Amino acid sequence: MEESLVLFFEQYSNYALIISIVINIIVAIFGFIPSFFVTGANIIFFGFWTGTLISFLGESIGAIVAFLLYRKGFKKLSTLTVEKYPKAKTLLWKQGKEAFYLILSLRLLPFVPSGLVTFISSIGKVSFIIFAIASTIGKVPALLIEAYSVYQVTQWTWQGKVILVGAGLYLVILAFKNNRNK
């Protein structure tokens, strides 16, 4: 996917920046599609720092657009669904500083799906401004870690190999646990 996106950027190089941001917005709206392939394509095409900055802008704008869309369309429908997830309920009712710090901390954790944080925030009581600021600030370290990891993997450095082995082991353990629970 990453290679296809780089080829697309090359084909439409005058619009690559806009295309990248739009793709990041779409990824954020869907909420379950990982963004690392866009980050990887951005780093390969634009270079490490510019690609990381473009990914940051796209993901931040994407989270804000997704928040607004989710809030408009899912608020009433989804409150009942979230009741099934006790940890998610915590964010659902937070406001002000508490919501800010919770969103910020959830954005810092790489294993918490970004789409889930956006979705629960949007149907909860958190204000748009609090969400936008906390989400954007929280994306900085998370995206730097993601960008560094993607860069190391694409450059096939020893750190990239360790990252891939670690990700592979994680997936094997996850599959084992999932199979064991069945």
Tens of each residue's pLDDT in the chain, 182 residues:
778 899 999 999 999 999 999 999 999 998 878 888 899 999 999 999 999 999 999 999 999 999 999 988 876 555 555 666 565 667 777 788 888 988 888 888 766 778 888 988 888 889 999 999 999 999 898 888 888 888 888 787 877 788 778 878 877 887 888 777 76
Query: How many Cα atoms sit within 13 Å of 77 on the Cβ side?
Result: 6
23: Cβ contacts below 8 Å, ≥ 6 apart = 5, 38, 58
What is the crossing angle of helices 16-30 and 48-82, to 10°?
A: 20
Residue closest to 92 by CA, chosen among 116, 121, 64: 121
Q: pTM for the complete prediction?
A: 0.78
Among 168, 97, 111, smallest CA distance to 142 is for 111
The total number of residues written for the chain in this structure? 182
Can you give the residue ranges of every domain in the chain? 2-181
Distance CA 45, CA 11 (A): 11
Between CA 131 and CA 117 the distance in angstroms is: 10
94 in Cβ contact with 126 (< 8 Å): yes
